[in-house]
Amino acid sequence: MSVIEEKEQQFAQAAETIAKVKEEIQSFIVGQEEVVEHVLWSIFAGGHVLLEGLPGLGKTMLIKTISEVLDLNFSRIQFTPDIMPSDITGTMLLQPDEAGRQTFSFHKGPLFANIILADEINRATPKTQSALLEAMGEKTVTIMGETKSMEKPFFVLATQNPIDMEGTYPLPEAQTDRFLCKVNVQYPTKAELKEIALRTTGPQKKQLKKVAGMDDVIALQGLAREILVSDEILDYAVWMITATHPDSEEAPEMVKNFVQYGSGPRGLQSLINMAKARAMCSGRFHVSVGDIKHVAHPVLRHRLILNFEGEASSVTADSIIEALLSEAIRGAKG
């Protein structure tokens, strides 16, 4: 078997495995197909996800279901205004040793797991929210000068209530940028509401199958990195990021009028990695224009900071991204 044939077989097997993972997740989670896809793409791209939606839409259940199907260690952190940084990262405790002497030993916090559900992250104070920065960015935590590495794979899947709800704190821009993507969870349709009731109020609970494991997730992450990106597609992505800045000559009028700050280099990296993961999930070896278009909204919506005019005019980041997508091909060719 040639190298090319071997790679084709690997990608075919990867697409088959991912399809089974999605099927098992959606045997329990009703609807939200796009949300499931975006979360899986993010996991295989090695990034963190911010889920936003009204309470009761199943965000927590979705994350727990994914951890069960992928057979990953799961830890849940319920964020509240009084939670402290050491409550999530862990702390050094004095413990007696065999000789009866008191020595410091590290007591791990709930952050040490494969999938971390940061539930209602915007109910915590900024100080505690910032405690996640090092873990999300460097996959380490530092306690009393001692650095501890997180388990691999490591993902933070955070849920967030809409920012205008009472009792919430806006996430700092530095932290939102650590999330590979932001996924909006929509309200279910009438048919989906009926199916939710049928699946969750009956006498029997759905038993989920473990379709993949820790090694499979790590292997799929490595395979996604091998997806090819042509110069034309890379130029397309670079143009989109550049055009999010209002001081750029290539920025559309909508960006110049309503955006205060655009996306940085991490946005470009996220756009490419997410597109690679989508291509792999489709069984392809290369990133297409369609991949970039499909991941642009979740990757960029939390990286565009609107100015006063944008906020006052009720302009959304998604509408600005639509404007960018409509001009991206022309801009890339230019």
For 168, other C-beta atoms within 10 Å of its C-beta total 17
- pLDDT value of position 273: 93
Q: pLDDT tens digits, residue range 203-249?
A: 767 777 888 888 888 988 888 898 888 899 999 999 989 888 988 88
Rounded to 5 degrees, φ, ψ at 41 are -60, -40
Rounded to 5 degrees, φ, ψ at 260 are -95, -45
Q: pLDDT tens digits, residue range 154-165?
A: 888 888 776 555
137 by Cβ neighbours in 10 Å (0-12 / 13-18 / 19+) ranks as: middle
Do 309 and 257 form a contact (C-beta atoms < 8 A)?
A: yes
Distance between CA atoms of 138 and 258, rounded to whole angstroms? 33
Distance between CA atoms of 131 and 108, rounded to whole angstroms? 14
Q: pLDDT tens digits, residue range 73-112?
A: 888 888 888 888 878 887 767 667 676 677 766 777 788 8
- pLDDT value of position 249: 82
Q: Mind listing the domains of the chain with CATH numbers?
A: 1-226 (3.40.50.300), 227-334 (1.10.8.80)
